[in-house]
Amino acid sequence: MSITEQLQAARAACRALALADTGAKNRLLSAMADALLAAEESILAANAADLAAARGTVPDVMLDRLALSKARIADMAAGMRQVAALPDPVGRVLERRTLDDGLVLEKTAVPMGVIAIIYESRPNVTSDAAALALKSGSACVLRGGKEAFRSNNAIVAALREGVQEAGFAPALVSLVQDTSRDSARALMTASGLVDLLIPRGGAGLIRSCVENATVPCIQTGTGICHIYVDAAADLDMALEILDNAKTSRPSVCNAAEVCLVHRDVAAVFLPMLRRRLVEERKEKGFVPVQLRLDGRAGAIIEGTPAGPADFDTEFLDYILAVAVVDSVQAAEDHIAAHSTGHSEAIVTADTAAAAHFTAAVDSAAVYVNASTRFTDGGQFGLGCEMGISTQKLHARGPMGLAELTSYKYIIRGNGQVR
Amino acid sequence: MSITEQLQAARAACRALALADTGAKNRLLSAMADALLAAEESILAANAADLAAARGTVPDVMLDRLALSKARIADMAAGMRQVAALPDPVGRVLERRTLDDGLVLEKTAVPMGVIAIIYESRPNVTSDAAALALKSGSACVLRGGKEAFRSNNAIVAALREGVQEAGFAPALVSLVQDTSRDSARALMTASGLVDLLIPRGGAGLIRSCVENATVPCIQTGTGICHIYVDAAADLDMALEILDNAKTSRPSVCNAAEVCLVHRDVAAVFLPMLRRRLVEERKEKGFVPVQLRLDGRAGAIIEGTPAGPADFDTEFLDYILAVAVVDSVQAAEDHIAAHSTGHSEAIVTADTAAAAHFTAAVDSAAVYVNASTRFTDGGQFGLGCEMGISTQKLHARGPMGLAELTSYKYIIRGNGQVR
């Protein structure tokens, strides 16, 4: 089956799902979770084959992401049941208005239709993405990475059994059988067949989607997040926030990559920062944070001089770029020039500075006196997450079920003409 | 100034506008309207030069669209003042939530940033689009058609005087000086500089944007709108609605292009349709509607047999494609296969048929017992309109000020870490 045929089948199948009520959709997700557990053996066997093929060719951290176990499969099924338990995003009346001529207009949430998802090594994304897409009333066409190909096929086979048992067309969930760049390109350019394309992966994948997609697409993930320590900051609070944002999980997109420090507190704060992130971590046997310092920070503490790219790099590692700035406005200017629009924080006791920063900084999430690590669908109360949008069209920040829907206007009259 | 420099200037200018309060923005629009009226003479002179150059090379209907007068300029200024009077879409708190750890999260409407608009011959779009963009807190970069180049330059020069008088940077409004395809292409691919691209024009322009744009873009306008006359329709009502939707203004996107008739009423309704749209119009000296009939309709009334493209063409003319269908589901299937997702209507007294149609038809506006001609920002109570989106991402149907904004999350804490 070609990708076009696969998308056409998904398109045909999603029309019935769009008409299904909440109970039917929840039973569908529950049947998929049951089928996933029932297929545990075949999924683990496929995963073992993927792992055997990958061993030696990919880094250990990637093998860990790829590996499934009984516990991980149980988590995947539990995740699907959690999505089933969330409120139905479809059918909500977002606005109701009676127009002058007596027409009654309802702006109503509706499914997207066909959602295509291009993702990389983690096979658990397969069931997560399918649950989110189907609960939001859309069919999904999944294109995973080649390392997880056997695992993904086994998972999708199980999910499709569940779909069929629930009385829906299996084409609601399908996996692209070609894992080359060609298939990604085919999804990106399937105008009229894909209503929403979500790339989940590294910067290269996102860039390729932005450059090549002719279908509606949401940029996700890249996060060059900044923590600005203001002149009026509680410096102990600033240190806790910075430590958390940098070191609690450096590989994720909401981790901090850059610290900007107001000149008035730099001489006090930078030595505290160095002591906490470098020396104390060494003493405790943790990986120390490598500091990349601009000239003014380098005049106060020791560290590597920052190179030209260091303020424009998502390190995803124990590395922090540090600069001294003259004012909250200078911090905002720096962020405007270097941020990817994900998450930024100001630490300050000055409400005017905080208000200026939250108004001026144009990112998906802007924090006052809290860590950027909170930018997450679960933390924000969305119950789940398909990714974090760093664009301004449609959805910004964590995307939950509501962000996977569109809307239409339903207008009821009794013969009105214009 | 290159287009890149022009966009960079707009980007720099929009940061101050994003911080402006509602009063300042309204004074800005008012100053622009004043400046437009003050420049009446130079605008009319530029327009006369455009008209002289266009005469003989473009159709008369296009000359009429291009022509300005004192009255039209007064209307343009009045339109800007109406936009000023609308509620400010920026700063609205869309959701407020206190998270478990005491963080207070506010989802807040914010400006897009830089909006690029590619449009065709009507010079009044220049002031309309500028007013909508600036009121929604964004800078705009306008790329009009070459026929209106002198008029657009005169209008933009006036608007920029108004911007400057109001104390903002003139770069908030600018006109691209190159009217070749190259400049349209440059806007479509200015990743990182354009936050939203809106093409307003014919199908060729829209297609080119979809195929080439790497910046976020909203498809507008194309409307192959359907009127379905159900078995349970009040046939007199159906005739009024169809007549209105087809003939009140055939050149606009919300005009009907296709009529689907249930087989049970076809033998009665089709002769009524032919009498009203063809014979009565001839008798009254109006342009008769040309009917393009499928085989079943052609067996009942006279008309041109429909060719293979007739159910997939936006005629924008006194032409109507007509088909007989077996059921409401068959009408929905036809619409799913042939609609552009703009506006469709069912005429019926059967509430179950109406409910099925409104749930199943996946278009921006779905009507029960009313004309598709109501799909319009003004009619829908949005107060204004930047265009009608026929895509599902971000905005669907008429786009007013709210649809020209994005949002961000502002999260306030007192030292929370994760």
Asked whether the beta carbons of B336 and B343 are under 8 A apart, the reply is no
Q: Provide the pLDDT for residue B220.
A: 86
- Residue in chain A lying closest to B110 (CA): A362
Query: Is A242 an interface residue toward B (CB < 8 Å)?
Result: no
Query: If we measure between CA atoms, which residue out of A66, A64, A70 comes closest to residue A40?
Result: A70
Average pLDDT over residues A137-160: 97
- Residue in chain B lying closest to A244 (CA): B417
Question: pLDDT of B222-237, one tens digit each?
Answer: 899 999 999 999 999 9
Asked whether the beta carbons of B261 and B347 are under 8 A apart, the reply is no
With cut-offs at 50, 70 and 90, classify the pLDDT of residue A386: very high
Asked whether the beta carbons of A80 and A29 are under 8 A apart, the reply is yes
Angle value at C-alpha A118, between A113 and A122, nearest 5 degrees:
120
Query: Is A244 an interface residue toward B (CB < 8 Å)?
Result: yes
Q: Could you write out the three-class secondary structure of chain B?
A: CCHHHHHHHHHHHHHHHHHCCHHHHHHHHHHHHHHHHHCHHHHHHHHHHHHHHHCCCCCHHHHHHHCCCHHHHHHHHHHHHHHHHCCCCCCCEEEEEECCCCCEEEEEEEECCEEEEEECCCCHHHHHHHHHHHHCCCEEEEECCHHHHHHHHHHHHHHHHHHHHCCCCHHHEEECCCCCHHHHHHHHCCCCCCCEEEEECCHHHHHHHHHHCCCCECCECCCCEEEEECCCCCHHHHHHHHHHHHHCCCCCCCCEEEEEEEHHHHHHHHHHHHHHHHHHHHHCCCCCCEEEECHHHHCCCCCEECCCCHHHCCCCCCEEEEEEECCHHHHHHHHHHHCCCCEEEEECCCHHHHHHHHHHCCCCEEEEEECHHHCCCCCCCCCCCCCEECCCCCCCEECCCHHHEEEEEEEEEEEECC
Q: CA dist A41 to A63, A151, A162, Å? A: 19, 11, 16
- Which of the two residues, A151 and A63, has the higher pLDDT score? A151
Q: Cβ of B406 and A414 within 8 Å?
A: no
Measure A303 CA to nearest chain B CA, in Å: 26
Question: pLDDT of A243-297, one tens digit each?
Answer: 999 999 998 999 999 999 999 999 999 999 999 999 999 999 999 999 999 999 9
Query: Is B370 an interface residue toward A (CB < 8 Å)?
Result: yes
The pTM score is: 0.94
Q: Inform me whether the pLDDT recorded for B210 exceeds 90.
A: no
From CA B280, how far away is CA B242, in angstroms rounded?
A: 14
In order of their start, the domains of chain A are 3-218+399-412 (3.40.605.10), 225-374 (3.40.309.10)
Q: Provide the pLDDT for residue A351.
A: 98
Q: Inform me whether the pLDDT recorded for A404 exceeds 90.
A: yes
Q: Inform me whether the pLDDT recorded for B136 exceeds 90.
A: yes
How large a percentage of chain B has pLDDT more than 70?
A: 100
Query: Is B8 an interface residue toward A (CB < 8 Å)?
Result: no
**Token pair for B145:** 């058609």
Q: Inform me whether the pLDDT recorded for B350 exceeds 90.
A: yes
Q: Provide the pLDDT for residue A62.
A: 83
Q: Inform me whether the pLDDT recorded for B221 exceeds 80.
A: no
Query: Is B369 an interface residue toward A (CB < 8 Å)?
Result: yes
Query: Is B367 an interface residue toward A (CB < 8 Å)?
Result: yes
CB within 8 Å of chain A, chain B residues 387-406? 391-394, 396-397, 406
Measure A195 CA to nearest chain B CA, in Å: 7
> What string of DSSP letters covers A172-210?
GEEE-S--SHHHHHHHHT-TTT-SEEEEES-HHHHHHHH
Q: Provide the pLDDT for residue A262.
A: 98
**Pick among B197, B356, B418 to test the A interface (most A CBs inside 10 A):** B418
Q: Cβ of A368 and B416 within 8 Å?
A: no
With cut-offs at 50, 70 and 90, classify the pLDDT of residue B417: very high
Q: Provide the pLDDT for residue A221.
A: 77
Measure A333 CA to nearest chain B CA, in Å: 10
Q: Provide the pLDDT for residue B56.
A: 87
Asked whether the beta carbons of B384 and B86 are under 8 A apart, the reply is yes
Q: Cβ of A365 and B413 within 8 Å?
A: no
H/E run at residue A62 = helix A60-66
Query: Is B415 an interface residue toward A (CB < 8 Å)?
Result: yes
Average pLDDT over residues B99-122: 94
Measure A402 CA to nearest chain B CA, in Å: 12
Chain A residues with beta carbon closer than 8 angstroms to that of B373: 417-418
Average pLDDT over residues B120-137: 93
Question: pLDDT of B154-173, one tens digit each?
Answer: 999 999 999 999 999 999 99
Q: Inform me whether the pLDDT recorded for B121 exceeds 80.
A: no
Q: Inform me whether the pLDDT recorded for B414 exceeds 90.
A: yes
DSSP A306: P
From CA B91, how far away is CA A413, in angstroms rounded?
A: 34
Q: Inform me whether the pLDDT recorded for B64 exceeds 90.
A: no
Chain A residues with beta carbon closer than 8 angstroms to that of B418: 244, 248, 371, 373-374, 379
Q: Which of A15, A364, A417 sits opposite B244 (nearest CB)?
A: A417
Query: Whole-number mean pLDDT of chain B?
Result: 95
H/E run at residue A140 = strand A139-143
Q: Inform me whether the pLDDT recorded for B348 exceeds 90.
A: yes
H/E run at residue A346 = strand A343-347
Average pLDDT over residues B199-207: 86
Q: Inform me whether the pLDDT recorded for A349 exceeds 80.
A: yes
Measure B171 CA to nearest chain A CA, in Å: 18
Question: pLDDT of A195-250, one tens digit each?
Answer: 999 998 888 888 899 889 999 999 887 899 999 999 999 999 999 999 999 999 99
Pairing of strands A114-119, A196-200: parallel
Q: Provide the pLDDT for residue A407.
A: 98
Q: Cβ of B374 and A415 within 8 Å?
A: no
Amino acid of residue B15: R
Q: Inform me whether the pLDDT recorded for A126 exceeds 90.
A: yes
How large a percentage of chain A has pLDDT more than 90?
A: 90
CB within 8 Å of chain A, chain B residues 184-213? 191, 195-196, 210-211
Q: Provide the pLDDT for residue A219.
A: 86
Q: Inform me whether the pLDDT recorded for A121 exceeds 80.
A: no
Q: Inform me whether the pLDDT recorded for B279 exceeds 80.
A: yes
Q: Which of A191, A234, A408 sits opposite B366 (nearest CB)?
A: A408
Query: Is B98 an interface residue toward A (CB < 8 Å)?
Result: no
- Residue in chain A lying closest to B351 (CA): A412
Average pLDDT over residues A94-123: 94
